[in-house]
Amino acid sequence: MKILLTAHFAEEYRGVELFNWTLAKELSKTHDVSFFTFVPGKASQKISNYARIITKLDQDEKFDWLICSHNSCYKKVSHLCKTKLFVSHGLLSSLDDLPGDPSALTLGVSEEVFNSRKALGVIRNPIDMERFSPSDEWGRGILYLSAEQQPRILDKIERLGIPVERCSGEWNVEDYINKSEIVVSGARGALEAMACKKPAIVLGPYGYDGYCGEYWELKKHNFGGRRYKKDLTLDSLRYEIGKINDKDIRACYDYVKENHEVSKVVSRLEKLL
């Protein structure tokens, strides 16, 4: 099958771009994959290892499937595609508004998005568990993993008195995760930590949910920190870190393997398409 993936922006290693990179890697094993973007860059260069990059459309070219992120892309490419799937990644950007095309299958990346956008289903963020996997390396300290590093958050983490490493916008995220003992992150970063069998303190730019042990609740908001919206204080950070235990770490790993491992996500998509 000829499959077209899209994202409006592809110049940085952010959530939607990495969503597409992960899908492209897996889909390219059995399909002919292309990727359309208005803004190419570092992310599209990585995607090009698995997909043909398109920035100017050939109106005569047709695709069997469209798996579309961002409605700006949908308006541009949907007429070239036979079967159309639109993925809404969140609530804060108008690019994630559903395209309003009754012929499109619409999915949200969490129950929160599914309900708010009135989508037809849920697709979990795919994780490449060959890349993000447990290491024998002994972790040390806290990793603050976020594309949007916030000084007020960093200040509270540093005041814990535990060594802190920061990672923002780097490609080799798995190296940072496996060198750490605890990961403070949200959304994809929290899932990647759980895939590496590291405990995650779920904290995104717009919310703080604490320790990832209650993954069955946090998944409803894509581990973005908006499920409980706890107060972020030095004491609350200490309290959440105190909850960490090996049983939960194993359970979180099993959850990601079953629900987010990319080959299983692609298998579910293929059944829909």
What's the rounded Cα separation, in Å, for the pair 235 and 136?
A: 31
| Predicted confidence (pLDDT) at residue 272 exceeds the cutoff of 90 | no
* Shared fold status for 2-123 and 142-259: yes
Distance from the first to the final alpha carbon of the chain: 11
Long-range contacts of 83-88 (CB under 8 A, 24+ apart): 83/273, 85/269, 85/272, 85/273, 87/19, 87/123, 88/113, 88/117, 88/119
Instruction: Provide CATH code, domain 2-123.
Output: 3.40.50
The pLDDT of residue 204 is 87
What's the rounded Cα separation, in Å, for the pair 218 and 209?
A: 8
Predicted confidence (pLDDT) per residue in 62-102, tens digit: 999 999 999 999 999 999 999 999 999 999 999 999 999 99
Predicted confidence (pLDDT) per residue in 161-196, tens digit: 999 999 999 999 999 999 999 999 999 999 999 999
Q: What mean pLDDT value characterizes the chain?
A: 96
Q: Would you state the structure tokens that stand for residue 223, as one six-digit string?
A: 């581990």
What's the rounded Cα separation, in Å, for the pair 269 and 59?
A: 26
Give the amino acid at 207: G
Secondary element (H or E) of residue 200 = strand 200-204
The pLDDT of residue 273 is 82
> What are the sequence ranges of the domains in the chain?
2-123, 142-259
Residues near 267 by beta carbon (within 8 Å), at least 6 away in sequence: none
Instruction: Provide CATH code, domain 142-259.
Output: 3.40.50.2000
